[in-house]
Structure 1
Amino acid sequence: MRVSDIVFDLLLLGIFIPSIAGFIMGRPVFVSYAYSDSMTPTINRWDVFFINPLSKGEVGDIIVFNLSGKWTVHRVYAITTEGYITKGDNNIATDQQDNKNPPVKRDQIIGKVITIGGRPIKIPKIGKYLQSKNSHYLAVGLALVGGAILGVGGEKERKRRKRRRKVIDTSVIYVLMATLLAIGIVFTASMSWREIGITYASTLAGGQKEGWYLPGTTFSENITVKNYAKIPMVFIVEGKVVNREAFKLSGEEERNIKVTIHVPEETRIYTESVKVYSYYPILPTSVIDRLHDENAYLPLLIEGLLVFAGLIMLKPFLGEPEYIPLRRF
């Protein structure tokens, strides 16, 4: 086996594992699909497209971001000091027109759609099957296919081992795979964090339009926190306009959170935000809540370590370690 083969397999796992985990989490990582016609004809409904998570995009690029709790794929129309102004190619107005939504902040963007010659790389209509009720079977199928591809390659190498010197312990590769899986879990959970913005106006014409309130008054409304994942998740909601809550939601379950806002005396447009953190239910909700109090990333770090430790403990049950030959590039 060449060094390049090992690097390629690990790279493949580094993309494959987070993508499957992201699918189960309901959070795009490297691959996603459009569920509306807002980007037609550039990206049609149900078209699968690919994401570069290392780029936040520039004016003219197509980005994937969280807009009021929903994953959205739209083009960057402009960039201001307050954030990104976005627009669907098939929409007349921007997402922010008439203060319908606040500008998109950089931390709401998960990546840029990969294009060649200005055209997105896409697979038509596949997304229709990904959003069906039985879509989790497709995820499992993709995992099995990926595993089979890696397995076939490994079997071919095993047949040639006798004539080559043994230099690499498979335990090392197993540890690297366990590390990638743990990192993938932490990555998909942390990148699912989001902010829900509430935009309103303090104005003497309060009550004449939706979202207009008299200075000095108080109003309440509900925001919806939804678990887009296929599995249960623990959520922590906090912000100065909500009471901090920690709770568990089943797959695709949602919960209404009451928001109370005291309208400032100064007349202008305001935006308040509610932060939503999500964690795997590996630890009890109360423990996650206490750890989150110390640092938002601390529960993720401990859960990642627990996953890694669990995989390492399984290693002895997989048989004795083997050795595979190593050839240079």
Structure 2
Amino acid sequence: MGVRSAVGTLLGGALLVVVALLLVGQLMGQPVLLGYVSTGSMAPTLQPGDGFVAVPPAFAGPIEEGDVVTFDARELDGGGLTTHRVVGRTEEGFITKGDANPVTDQDGSEPPVSRSRVVAVAWQVGGDVVVIPNLGVLVTGIGDLITGAQRQLAAALGTRALLGTQGLAYLLFAVGVAGYAVTAVLGAGSRERVRGAVGRSTGIANVWTVILVLALVLALVLTASMTLTGGERTFEVVSSQSDAAGVRVIPVGGTEELTYRIPNPGITPVAVYLEPASEGVSIEPRRVRLAGGEEANVSVSISVPDRTGVYDRAFVEHRYIALLPADVMDALYAIHPWAPILAIDALVCGLFALVAIAIVGTGVIRLDSRNPNVSTLDRLRRRFR
């Protein structure tokens, strides 16, 4: 492999990784290592469409004044992800402000931002945010293409199941299965021939490249299935001098309990972990393992301080496909909530790669060395004759 070919392969691989991260972020509804802004509220630091390196809060260390964070806003622009700078802190959370805005977010209707609502911290070097110009243009373009394809397929098939993030997961899975099937069919009959005719082939596909691409798609679908169904559960409670029916109003300094239902509508077993994401929350039990179609109830205790006011209370639900033993899952979760996801992705994708290699072999797939003008469809027809 020449230098130019190696550089092209590295750049192509880097682009593939970037696109995969952006697609995962689209599925999860939060930045995954890369984020971008769509408005000018952070100018001149970040112009509309500029991207940044999004560090997960667990790895970012303590959040301090001057940090630029992406958080789940309650009121700003109707709610949703917002990227602003931390300019202060109170007992209730962080005070945030866009660099181009004259007032803080909390001068409006947005409550102080709790640590649990921060989904990413922008990477800074020497006090300056590392900016990736026009990254948002790529994200928007990919999103438009995907959304358009989903709508066309949904209209053609007469179903709404292909719309939204769940529909995107279905499509990615279908693409992965189709790609794997085509690779297996085209490669099964050419594995032996290609060893002596690689130099003469005009249509060569590296098996490892194909497997890597399909494994990334599979990992993307698995990750989406485990993250989209979990997330933070947040609600407001009122600390009042008098009690009222329900859990929303609690006497000052008091505690009330609610029952949280955990369903598993799918057919695969899941492991669910719950943990408090704010003060005044306790959960019992904090780990539940459910078979397909099962459900369970857990008890959530909500406490308020001994002064009146409105307070945010939250807990986080993490869901995993239960492919690993319970003790292994517990050990991985103790390291970090993302550790079980990475282990499950590695297990499934590793098994997928072994099966693919057993069927297709290694090295290269010679699609057609004698007639490069034959289409893939014709090759598939010949394979099934």
Structure 1's 286 and 186: CA in aligned 2 closer, same or farther, altered over 3 A?
Answer: same
Residue in 1 that maps onto 2:124: none
| AA of the residue aligned to 2:271 | V
Maintained 8 Å contact 1:195/1:273: yes
The 1-side partners of 2:290 and 2:304 are apart by 31
Maintained 8 Å contact 1:169/1:321: no
Residue in 1 that maps onto 2:161: 129
Residue in 2 that maps onto 1:221: 258
**13, 35, 38: which is aligned to 1:55?**
35
**Partner SS, residue 283 of structure 1:** coil
Structure 2 alignment gaps of length 5 or more: 41-47, 49-69, 87-93, 98-107, 122-135, 367-385
Residue in 2 that maps onto 1:232: 269
Note the aligned Cα RMSD (angstroms). Answer: 5.8
Residue in 2 that maps onto 1:307: 348
How do 1:35-54 residues align onto structure 2 when only pairs under 5 Å count?
54=34
Following superposition, the deviation at residue 283 of structure 1 comes to: 0.7
| AA of the residue aligned to 2:328 | V
Structure 1's 107 and 231: CA in aligned 2 closer, same or farther, altered over 3 A?
Answer: farther
Maintained 8 Å contact 1:194/1:277: yes
Following superposition, the deviation at residue 280 of structure 1 comes to: 1.9
Whichever structure has more helix as a proportion of its residues is 2
Following superposition, the deviation at residue 215 of structure 1 comes to: 0.8
Residue in 1 that maps onto 2:119: 107
Maintained 8 Å contact 2:227/2:318: no
- Report which of the two structures shows the higher radius of gyration computed on alpha carbons: 2
Residue in 2 that maps onto 1:188: 224
**Partner SS, residue 128 of structure 1:** coil
**201, 216, 221: which is aligned to 2:238?**
201
| AA of the residue aligned to 2:119 | D
**267, 277, 284: which is aligned to 1:243?**
284
* Offset from partner CA, 1:81-110 (integer Å, 9 cap, x none): 65899xxxxxxxxxx9798x999923299x
Maintained 8 Å contact 2:239/2:252: yes
Residue 270 of structure 1 pairs with residue 311 of structure 2: yes
| AA of the residue aligned to 2:308 | T
The 2-side partners of 1:319 and 1:207 are apart by 66
**173, 193, 202: which is aligned to 2:209?**
173
Following superposition, the deviation at residue 265 of structure 1 comes to: 0.5
| AA of the residue aligned to 2:240 | T
Maintained 8 Å contact 1:196/1:275: yes
The 1-side partners of 2:293 and 2:79 are apart by 24
The 1-side partners of 2:265 and 2:36 are apart by 23
Maintained 8 Å contact 2:173/2:221: no
Structure 1's 56 and 297: CA in aligned 2 closer, same or farther, altered over 3 A?
Answer: same
* Offset from partner CA, 1:183-226 (integer Å, 9 cap, x none): 53674366445221132111224428972221122211133445
| AA of the residue aligned to 2:282 | V
Residue in 2 that maps onto 1:90: none
Following superposition, the deviation at residue 172 of structure 1 comes to: 4.0
Give the alignment's TM-score, normalised by structure 1: 0.56
The 2-side partners of 1:161 and 1:6 are apart by 22
Structure 1's 243 and 103: CA in aligned 2 closer, same or farther, altered over 3 A?
Answer: same
Following superposition, the deviation at residue 234 of structure 1 comes to: 1.5
Structure 1's 144 and 307: CA in aligned 2 closer, same or farther, altered over 3 A?
Answer: closer
Structure 1's 15 and 234: CA in aligned 2 closer, same or farther, altered over 3 A?
Answer: farther
Structure 1's 56 and 207: CA in aligned 2 closer, same or farther, altered over 3 A?
Answer: farther
Residue in 2 that maps onto 1:296: 337
Give the alignment's TM-score, normalised by structure 2: 0.49
**Partner SS, residue 252 of structure 2:** coil
Following superposition, the deviation at residue 228 of structure 1 comes to: 7.5
* Offset from partner CA, 1:45-71 (integer Å, 9 cap, x none): xxxxx997532646589xx99899xxx
Residue 259 of structure 1 pairs with residue 291 of structure 2: no
